[in-house]
Amino acid sequence: MAEENEQMEVQPPANKVSSAKNPLLTILVVANTAVMVAVAYFQFMSHQKLAETPSISDVVKAEMKKITGEDGEIQITGEAQVDDGKLFPLDGFTANLAQGDGPRRFVRLNTVLKFSKESNEEEFKRRKAQIRDSVITTLNGKRPEDLLSVQGKNFLKEEIKAAINAFLVDGHVIDVFYVSFQIN
């Protein structure tokens, strides 16, 4: 009986496979390592690419250096010359929006109008009340849902341009820029 116990202890079980003889496990470990190295490489390259792009503050600083004179002070006037037009800032607007389902809502808006080169600044000053009235009237006809999307804001720009161009004699509005846009 002692001999039988010794023989059983010496012989390994037949159904147990050792890890050294299993090539599938080795292949999976190598493949997993290769995939992890590839992912790490692509993340590193993506990080390097993002680090090379200028940040918003860098772009703003570069533009501010272009605007400032040699004395370092920014010179802003009521009318700024642009390559293909003149910029005229408007005072801020606060207007009620059209009543929809829910509470009353309003919009606060600051805009800058870009007029054609042949526009007359005197006409702009004379018609400033008409311009403000047309913008407020256009805003009063809008619902908050109309203005929340980018397409709605772009459509509002086109409506404002058309409303103002309807009564201008010298020149016309080329574009409308939002300086601030808030819906409450």
Tens digit of pLDDT per residue, the chain (184 long)? 555 555 555 555 555 555 567 889 999 999 999 999 999 999 999 999 888 887 777 777 777 777 665 555 555 554 444 457 788 888 888 988 887 667 888 899 999 999 888 888 888 888 889 999 999 999 888 888 888 888 989 999 999 999 998 888 888 889 999 999 998 8
Note the pLDDT of residue 80. 45
Output the DSSP codes for 94-148.
EEEPPP-SSS--EEEEEEEEEE-TT--HHHHHHTHHHHHHHHHHHHHT--HHHHH
In the chain, where the domains are located? 80-183
**What fold characterizes domain 80-183?**
Tetrahydropterin Synthase; Chain A (3.30.479)
